[in-house]
Amino acid sequence: MTDQTPVELLVCTTCRRGLAIEDDAQRPGRLLHDALTQADLPEGVHLKPVECLSNCDQGCSIVLRGGPDRWTFVYENLNETDHVDVIVEGATRYLATQDGLVKWRERPEHFRKNCASRIPPIGV
């Protein structure tokens, strides 16, 4: 166990990834969340489903956030089959920081190219 502040990994479960899918259980966002429940997320990363991150035209979206002292990041253009390991790697690196700022070259390549937003800590 580490003494690091836990982080949340939020996954938009309503995402359709631009597909005409009406079955909520088969939406790509739901499938991505389900795949992440089976992944080897590090202790301290808490996976949470959320409804609609309002980034609907940009593939599946996730958020990494870690309380008032860390930057929050929104990543997009993810999918339920190809990016589970990328998300685990990115969440692991994010957890290892005190401020949420993983050095650009240390981020998974997909995270480098698909950051929709970064939000400063509350006190900044």
What's the mean pLDDT in 65-87?
95
β strands within 1-124, DSSP E: 7-12, 45-50, 60-65, 72-78, 115-119
pLDDT bin (cut points 50, 70, 90) of residue 2 is very low
pLDDT band at 3 (very low <50, low <70, confident <90, very high): low
Q: For residue 5, give every residue at least 6 positions away whose Cβ sits within 8 Å of its Cβ, in sequence order, or none.
A: 44, 66, 67, 69, 70
pTM over 0.85: yes
Range from 18-22, 27-31, 110-114 that averages highest in pLDDT:
110-114
Structural domains of the chain, with CATH: 7-119 (3.40.30.10)
The structure tokens listed for 14 are 């309503």
Q: Record the tokens describing residue 121, joined without a space.
A: 């800590």
Query: Mean per-residue pLDDT for 40-64?
Result: 93
